[in-house]
Homo-oligomer: A and B are copies of this chain.
């Protein structure tokens, strides 16, 4: 740990040589003495990337860095004409989302081949289904021959279960639907303005002025 020791030494030396600030001085006095001794804080120090234990510090960091992350995402989107969506769950499962998350999720799922598979029948029949270019689960109920009806029902039922299972895979009671206020079209592709209100999505009505973590 030569590195750690080195930075510790630096830190101590700093403290010994320059006591940060005389707490007895008023703000005005501090401002006046700035010219002679401009160093009033240690400024930003390097931190190790590991979980922050202190609850309060962690909340502050989460708030600051989340804001920074969303700002970077907005810049990336504008500069490069890309769509960017971010979903964040804080420790206490509060959602913070950035971008047109709903649309992006749908695009994402559409490009994910595992989405629609029959629960009972294994993989979706490849090659376009039953001769008319549609998958079996795309056919009208009325077009299913009577003799295939039972199998079709089973498949459809399984598909429904499978979809629901996928949605609820994370656990928890599937019948409980948290009534989240979900922002959906936050980010215009150009001239997007960054405000905390635009960025932050809350599960409940947090008190104003308290970030809520």
Complex-state Cα separation, A128 to B174, whole angstroms: 11
- B-side contacts of A159, CB under 8 Å: 160
Q: Is the CB of B66 within 8 A of A69?
A: no
Q: Which of A165-213 contact B (CB under 8 A)?
A: 166-170, 172, 174-175, 177-180, 182, 190, 203
Complex-state Cα separation, A113 to B178, whole angstroms: 7
- B-side contacts of A108, CB under 8 Å: 87, 95, 97, 101, 105
- B-side contacts of A61, CB under 8 Å: 79-80
B51, B84, B110, B157: the one within 8 Å of A167 (CB): B110
Q: Which of A67-106 contact B (CB under 8 A)?
A: 68-69, 72-73, 75-76, 78-91, 93, 95, 97, 101-106
- B-side contacts of A82, CB under 8 Å: 62, 88-91
- B-side contacts of A52, CB under 8 Å: 79-80
* Chain A residues proximal to chain B, CB less than 8 Å: 47, 49-52, 58, 61-62, 65-66, 68-69, 72-73, 75-76, 78-91, 93, 95, 97, 101-113, 115-116, 128-129, 133-135, 137-138, 140-141, 153-154, 156-157, 159-160, 163-164, 166-170, 172, 174-175, 177-180, 182, 190, 203
